[in-house]
Structure 1
């Protein structure tokens, strides 16, 4: 099965959504030496700010692509790192880099993405305590950019894409929102792995994603449909990301909802 390393995440998904806020607090704790995270790097040159929409789309696509890469399959050089990461909390940290510091991360294990001047790297997850110095020196703070004009969709026949909807009730920095979009991409890949034709169609299309900040009323309607996560997935390919609340939002906040591409979409 493509995406085999994602199996622990798939098994944990509905359980995590069912926890109340106190249970989220209790569940999120890990020994410092056991904490693993995927680092998302955002290029932020002083004279060339990134696109909010494009950065989120690449975070979602990039996290999924890293976990679905052939090197992440059993026997591949990335499999152990991805499987160990998916066996725990799927923490993500967004860092910003520019100039020589950005270029220094180019050969680290992971994938790089670029779209119309916006650049993102999704690095192979590992223990935070063992973080490469080229990454640890990149700042976590200041990873913000204004919501820009939504890029027009490409003209042509529709392709399978992950549609990522952002919670408008809890404003987040771009870096925080990228982490949440990355979670959505991983969860979508994990759940779609049980429907190989749908997953393969998304892979063949290049794992595209599009991000939107929803109107509050539209968000409330969407989240109400997630009351039963299993049914929401089975009937609509609708999924949610629920945050542990370490930064910016309260524990248990649903930060992102997403529609995964269905079979034949």
Structure 2
């Protein structure tokens, strides 16, 4: 069944993200954010989503017609294995694994995802930031003056990657796609300097954790 094309239909739509967080070897905060951004970009550029004839395209188009909501959940063990069978893409970035799923109505989330916890994904970062990859890559900076859990920050990173695909100059976006959609989360550059480079800015709708209108993340493409 094809989704309704009316973006004002209720309930709202969202892209679900699931981060793998095993107790024995949890990933680092920045790595989860980078993996979430990469997963979102990978799904949106997958031919099944990007091609107008692709099986995922109607769902992505319907979702993008409204707010680009994203919800991050956590899973481990058998529950992580269970969600791999649902339509989406999984990426691994610096040991962090995140799966992005085809968007859908928030009241029709598959039970394998709905049972996963939204709150509580709050992971420490590594002591020293890793060096950036070779260009091209998407640079994403999270606002250091805004307190966000790892789950919230991952969703905001996904928003930034999404906006870069849609709003960055086409040559830059094309280079990023062709280069493998690498993402680097900036940790060691002052926020003000990052803002000067930014191509896109994420302002949160205020559903969770932060007041509406808060600038949570920014991004640009390094070529």
**Both proteins in one fold, TM over 0.5:** yes
Gaps spanning 5+ residues in structure 1: where? 1-29, 226-235
Equivalent pairs, count: 214
Asked whether 1:241 is paired with 2:202, we answer: yes
Match of 1:111 among 67, 89, 92: 89
* Contact 1:245–1:252 (8 Å) recurs in 2: yes
Counterpart of 1:43 in structure 2 is: 20
Instruction: Give, in angstroms, the shift of residue 221 of structure 1.
Output: 5.0
Gaps spanning 5+ residues in structure 2: where? 1-7
Asked whether 1:162 is paired with 2:138, we answer: yes
Alignment CA distance shift 1:190-1:168 (3 Å): same
**Quick one: distance in 2 between partners of 1:222 and 1:237?**
6
Counterpart of 2:157 in structure 1 is: 181
Instruction: Give, in angstroms, the shift of residue 43 of structure 1.
Output: 0.6
Aligned with 2:107: secondary structure?
helix
Instruction: Give, in angstroms, the shift of residue 207 of structure 1.
Output: 0.5
* Contact 2:132–2:184 (8 Å) recurs in 1: no
> Could you list the per-position Cα deviations for residues 90-139 of structure 1 after superposition, in whole angstroms to 9, with x for gaps in the alignment?
01100000111110001111100113432110111111111100000000
* Contact 1:165–1:214 (8 Å) recurs in 2: no
TM-score by structure 2 length? 0.89
Alignment CA distance shift 1:213-1:115 (3 Å): closer
**What is the CA RMSD across the aligned residues, in angstroms?**
1.8
Rg (Cα) greater in structure: 1
* Moved >6 Å (runs of 4+): none
* Contact 2:88–2:100 (8 Å) recurs in 1: yes
